A and B are shown apart, each in its own frame.
Chain A
Amino acid sequence: MITVESLTRKYGGFTAVDDVTFTARPGRVTGFLGPNGAGKSTTMRIMVGLTPATSGTALIDGARFVDLTNPGHEVGVLLDASAQHAGRTGREILTIAQRTMGLPKGRVEEMLDLVSLTPQEAGRRVRNYSLGMRQRLGIAAALIGDPRVLILDEPANGLDPAGIRWMRDLLRDFARRGGTVLLSSHLLHEIEVIADDIVVIGQGRIVAQGTKAELLAGAGTLVRTPDAEVLGRALAAQGVSCSAVDGGLRTDATPDLVGRVALGAGVPLTELRSGDGAGLEDMFLELTADTQREGAAA
Chain B
Amino acid sequence: MTATTVQPRTTSTPTTAVPRERRSVPPIGLGRVVSVELRKMFDTRAGFWMLMSIAILSVLATGAAILWAPDADIDFELFASAIGVPMSVVLPMIAILSVTGEYSQRTGLTTYTMVPRRGRTIAAKAIAAVLVGVASMFVALGIGALGNLLGSSIVGVPTDWNISVTEFSQIVLAQVLGMTIGFMLGVLLRSSAAAIVAYFVYSLVLPGLLMLLAGVQSWFADLQPWVDFNLASSRLYDQTMTGEYWAQLGTSGLVWLVAPLAVGLALVMRSEVK
Residues of A within 8 A of B (CB): 1, 26-28, 45, 48-52, 61, 65-74, 77, 79-80, 82-88, 92-93, 96-97, 99-102, 141, 148, 156, 159, 161, 164-165, 168, 172, 175-180, 187, 189-190, 192-193, 196, 211-212, 276-277
Contact = CB atoms under 8 A, between A and B. Distances in A.
Task: Give the secondary structure class of B's interface.
Answer: loop
Contact of B27 (A45, A69, A148, A159): A69
A72 B107 contact: no
A99 B35 contact: yes
B272 A51 contact: yes
28 contacts: A26-B19, A27-B19, A28-B17, A45-B273, A49-B113, A50-B272, A52-B270, A65-B113, A65-B116, A66-B116, A70-B27, A79-B113, A85-B101, A85-B107, A88-B44, A96-B40, A97-B110, A97-B114, A99-B32, A100-B33, A102-B32, A148-B19, A172-B14, A176-B17, A178-B18, A178-B20, A193-B8, A196-B13
A79 B2 CA distance: 23
Contacts of A50: 109, 112-113, 272-274
Identify the 5 closest CB pairs spanning chains A and B, nearest first: A27-B17, A87-B44, A26-B19, A83-B106, A161-B5
A224 B87 CA distance: 77
A212 B11 CA distance: 13
Please classify how large the interface on chain B is, using the bins under 10, 10 to 19, 20 to 34, 35 or more: 35 or more
A156 B1 CA distance: 9
Given A189-B1, A193-B6, A100 B15 contact: no
Given A1-B19, A26-B19, A277-B8, 15 more contacts: A27-B16, A27-B19, A49-B112, A70-B27, A84-B105, A85-B44, A85-B107, A96-B39, A96-B43, A100-B114, A101-B114, A159-B1, A176-B17, A177-B20, A196-B14
Contacts of B32: 99-100, 102
Contacts of B3: 189, 192, 277
A71 B105 contact: no
Given A50-B273, A87-B45, A161 B6 contact: yes
Given A69-B28, A70-B28, A178-B17, A77 B113 contact: yes
A74 B22 contact: yes
Contacts of A189: 1-3, 6
A216 B19 CA distance: 26
Contacts of B9: 193
B26 interface: yes
B30 interface: no
B128 to A, nearest CB: 13
Interface string B108-126: 0110111111000000000
B131 interface: no
Contact of B43 (A26, A61, A92, A211): A92
A141 B114 CA distance: 10
Interface in B21-68: 22-23, 25-28, 32-33, 35-36, 39-40, 43-47
Contacts of B44: 85, 87-88
Nearest to B32: A102
A101 B15 contact: no
A187 B46 CA distance: 38
A82 B105 CA distance: 9
Contacts of A192: 3, 8
